[in-house]
Amino acid sequence: MTFELRTVPLDGAREHVGVLRFCKIATPETAGSAQYFMSITRDFAPDPTVDGAFSARRLDVVRSDDSPMQEAVDREMKGRDLLTMPSVILPTDAGALAVRGVTSRLIRPAETSPELLCPISRHRSCTE
């Protein structure tokens, strides 16, 4: 997940807008743990005091919001594989999930019939 923050100096000079990007990624580490990565970049002069305060606030968010949420999800899953659990579809995700479903239905036949993947000929695969 990437967040982008824009800053404007107090004098309001819009041509000096600074962009700060904050990214966080959680990836599986083992069956029961995850790795959590954070990255902070910006396109304006570093300031150790400001940077340290921003980093500290981001870590507070991870500790107070992200970690408890991930722990609650882990408790709810009870060790089950995500793909075996009933899905919850948020309204904002419905379109992307519909596209994914159509794509899966189109790919599935091609996995069992490689000739469907070949744009050259319907009678032989591209690997021949």
- Domain residue extents for the chain: 1-79, 88-128
What does the alpha-carbon distance between residue 114 and residue 128 come to, in Å, rounded to a whole number?
11
One pLDDT digit (tens) per residue for the chain, 128 residues: 666 766 766 776 666 667 778 788 888 888 778 888 888 787 777 788 877 888 888 888 888 988 898 889 889 888 888 788 887 777 888 888 888 888 888 777 766 665 555 555 444 444 44
- Whole-model pTM over 0.85: no
Burial of 94 (C-beta count, 10 Å sphere; 0-12/13-18/19+): exposed
